[in-house]
Structure 1
Amino acid sequence: MSAHSSNSSTARRSHAPLDVCVKGMPGSIGTLPIEDIAKQGWNVLREDLPLPLAIIREDALRHNSDWMRRFLQERGSIFAPHGKTTMSPQLFDLQLADGAWGITLATCHQVQVARAFGIKRIVLANQLVGKQAVAFILQALREDAEFDFYCLVDDASQVRALAQAVQASGIDRPLQVLLEVGYAGGRTGCRDDASVQAVMEALKQASPYLALRGVEGFEGLIKPRPDQDIETQVAAFLQRMVATVQACESAGIFADGPVLLSAGGSSFYDLVTQHFSALNLSREHLVLTRSGCYLTHDAHLYKQAFARLQERSPDVRELGDGLMPALEVWAYVQSRPEPGKLIANLGKRDISPDHMPPVTAWFRPSADAGSPDVSRVAALPAGHIVTQLDDQHCHMTVPTDSPLQVGDMVCFGISHPCLTFDKWEAIMMVNRHYDIVGAVRTYF
Structure 2
Amino acid sequence: MNNDDTPHPGWLGPWLKGFPASQSPIPIADIGRRGWTLQGAELPTPLAVVRQRALAHNIAWMQEFAAARGVLLAPHGKTTMSPELFRRQLDAGAWGLTFANVHQLRLGLAAGVRRALIANQVINAAELAELLELRRRHPGLELAFFVDSQAQLDLLAAHWAVLGANEARLDVLIELGTSRCGVREHGPALALARSLKTHPALQLRGIGFYEGLQVAGDSEPDRMLMQQWQARVEALLTDIETEGLIEVQPLWLSGGGSALFDLVAPVIAGRPGRLGLLRSGCYVCHDHAHYGRYMQAMDARMGTPLGTPSLQPALEVWTQVLSCPEPGLALLNAGRRDLSFDQGWPVPVWHLSGGKRAKAPAGWQVTGLNDQHAYLRWDPTEADGPAVGECVALGPSHPCTTFDKWAWMAIVDEDDHVVDAITTQFS
1:81 to 72, 75, 82: 75
Is 1:434 the counterpart of 2:426 in the alignment?
no
* 1:224 CA displacement: 4.3
Deviates more, 1:106-115 or 1:397-406: 397-406
* 1:317 CA displacement: 4.9
> Counterpart in 1 of 2:281?
292
> Counterpart in 2 of 1:271?
263
* 1:162 CA displacement: 2.5
CA distance in 2, matches of 1:295, 1:90: 12
CA distance in 2, matches of 1:426, 1:89: 11
> Counterpart in 1 of 2:177?
182
For 1:126-275, what aligned pairs fall within 5 Å after superposition? Answer: 126-166=120-160, 168-183=163-178, 186-206=179-199, 209-222=201-214, 224=216, 229-275=221-267
Deviates more, 1:137-146 or 1:148-157: 137-146
RMSD: 2.1
> Counterpart in 1 of 2:43?
49
> Counterpart in 2 of 1:322?
310
1:391 to 368, 371, 381: 371
2:119 to 122, 125, 130: 125
Q: Normalising to structure 1: TM-score of the pair?
A: 0.89
* 1:17 CA displacement: 1.6
CA 1:360–1:317 in structure 2 vs 1: closer, same or farther (change >3 Å)?
same
CA 1:326–1:103 in structure 2 vs 1: closer, same or farther (change >3 Å)?
same
Residue 332 of structure 1 contacts residue 410 of structure 1 at CA under 8 Å; is this kept in 2?
Answer: yes
- After superposition, give the CA deviation of every residue in 1:358-417 in whole Å (9 maximum; x if it has no partner): 111110365xxxxxxxxx311233321111100000012123251410011101111100
SS for the counterpart of 1:199 is helix
1:335 to 302, 323, 328: 323
* 1:223 CA displacement: 5.3
* 1:200 CA displacement: 1.7
* 1:114 CA displacement: 1.1
CA 1:82–1:225 in structure 2 vs 1: closer, same or farther (change >3 Å)?
closer
> Counterpart in 1 of 2:358?
378
CA distance in 1, matches of 2:345, 2:248: 48
> Counterpart in 2 of 1:371?
none
SS for the counterpart of 1:125 is strand
Count residues with an aligned counterpart: 414
* 1:170 CA displacement: 3.0
SS for the counterpart of 1:378 is strand
SS for the counterpart of 1:122 is strand
* 1:169 CA displacement: 4.2
CA 1:159–1:275 in structure 2 vs 1: closer, same or farther (change >3 Å)?
same
CA distance in 2, matches of 1:318, 1:162: 52
Residue 190 of structure 2 contacts residue 240 of structure 2 at CA under 8 Å; is this kept in 1?
Answer: no
Is 1:39 the counterpart of 2:27 in the alignment?
no
Is 1:348 the counterpart of 2:330 in the alignment?
no
CA distance in 2, matches of 1:317, 1:334: 42
CA distance in 2, matches of 1:43, 1:414: 21
> Counterpart in 1 of 2:4?
none
> Counterpart in 2 of 1:4?
none
Q: Report the identity percentage.
A: 37
SS for the counterpart of 2:78 is coil
Deviates more, 1:62-71 or 1:268-277: 268-277
Is 1:364 the counterpart of 2:353 in the alignment?
yes
* 1:197 CA displacement: 2.6
SS for the counterpart of 1:346 is coil
Q: Normalising to structure 2: TM-score of the pair?
A: 0.92
CA 1:94–1:223 in structure 2 vs 1: closer, same or farther (change >3 Å)?
closer
CA 1:391–1:365 in structure 2 vs 1: closer, same or farther (change >3 Å)?
farther
- After superposition, give the CA deviation of every residue in 1:117-171 in whole Å (9 maximum; x if it has no partner): 2321110000112222111111111232222111001011212333444464435
CA distance in 2, matches of 1:50, 1:143: 41
Residue 345 of structure 2 contacts residue 368 of structure 2 at CA under 8 Å; is this kept in 1?
Answer: yes
1:305 to 276, 279, 294: 294
SS for the counterpart of 2:358 is coil
SS for the counterpart of 2:17 is coil
Residue 85 of structure 1 contacts residue 293 of structure 1 at CA under 8 Å; is this kept in 2?
Answer: yes
Is 1:93 the counterpart of 2:87 in the alignment?
yes
2:394 to 412, 416, 419: 412
CA distance in 2, matches of 1:47, 1:266: 37
Residue 79 of structure 1 contacts residue 102 of structure 1 at CA under 8 Å; is this kept in 2?
Answer: yes
> Counterpart in 2 of 1:8?
none
SS for the counterpart of 1:287 is strand
SS for the counterpart of 1:138 is helix
